[in-house]
Amino acid sequence: MKKQFIAGNWKMNLTLEEAGNLAKRLRDELANINKVDVGVCPSFIFLRDVCKILQGSKIYVGAQNMYLEKSGAFTGEVSGVMLKDVGCTHVIIGHSERRMFFQETNSIINSKLKTAYSCDLNPILCVGEKQEERDADKTEEVVGIQLSEGLDGLTSEQVERLTIAYEPVWAIGTGKTATPEQANEVHAYIRGIIENRYGKDVAQSIRIQYGGSVKSSNAEELLGQPEIDGALVGGASLDSDSFLDIVSVAIKLS
């Protein structure tokens, strides 16, 4: 069985002090963790501090986004080279909030993934359907296009290092969670697409996280599904107790 990967997406939350305290608590509580991979994704401006706090620990640090070019006249943007330089190992690409509020298309996301690999970062690619798409029975179609266009031109070696986060948009920050069966079904569909394109080995080794109102009370039934290999946690990752509870569930199931 592969290791579960529990990552916290802190989004645009916390102060520098709060981010530091959260990182320190996770570092101290998870000093000996080895059965489960854990990561945190703070705001850009806290990355350097959080990387310093977590240096030498087993907790990965990822960014929530990056620009598709490595350097240049792109005022206000942050590059993968910079993320790597401050100590990030991961980067979230194509979160639904980026798709929705910042007009990120599958083609932009594809370019960002390629740049992330060329900067030696491990991407977490987010996919997921909106409520109206689920209601119209278009979940597989939407997720299928996000994957085929998002992964266009990537090699099997690159895809093997990818984490995919299935985050149904209607379940993000709403308190509504996909049922474990609904999530498992889409995860199996995603794994099938990966198998068709990159073969069985890659499909079996890739980790597919579930995201969308994951909390300690629903973590066990979600993480217990055979196709769910971890979670990308938003709101519940901002509180150390609730995030640690979710990590404990993953450890218990491993």
- The binding site for ligand 13P (CB under 6 A) comprises 9, 95, 167, 172-173, 211-214, 232-236
Q: Which residue is nearest to ligand 13P (CB)?
A: 234
Q: State which residue, 191 or 215, has the beta carbon closest to ligand 13P.
A: 215
Min dist CB 215 to ligand 13P, Å, is: 8
Min dist CB 200 to ligand 13P, Å, is: 28
Min dist CB 214 to ligand 13P, Å, is: 5
* 157 belongs to the catalytic site: no
Catalytically annotated residue among 97, 104, 129, 167: 167
Catalytically annotated residue among 90, 95, 97, 187: 95
Min dist CB 75 to ligand 13P, Å, is: 26
What one-letter code names the amino acid at 104? E
Nearest-CA neighbor of 151 among 179, 119, 116, 182?
116
Q: State which residue, 42 or 211, has the beta carbon closest to ligand 13P.
A: 211
Distances (CA, A) of 203 to 49, 89, 167: 35, 22, 19
CA-atom Rg of the chain in angstroms: 17
Q: What are the b/e assignments for 163-202, b being 16+ CB within 10 Å?
A: bbbbbbbbbbeeeebbebebbbbbbebbbebbeeebeeeb
* 187 belongs to the catalytic site: no
Assign 179 to helix, strand or coil. coil
- Joined together, the tokens standing for residue 168 give 């149904």
Q: State which residue, 79 or 218, has the beta carbon closest to ligand 13P.
A: 218
Nearest-CA neighbor of 112 among 159, 64, 147, 68?
68
Q: State which residue, 158 or 177, has the beta carbon closest to ligand 13P.
A: 177
Q: Which residues are catalytic?
A: 95, 167
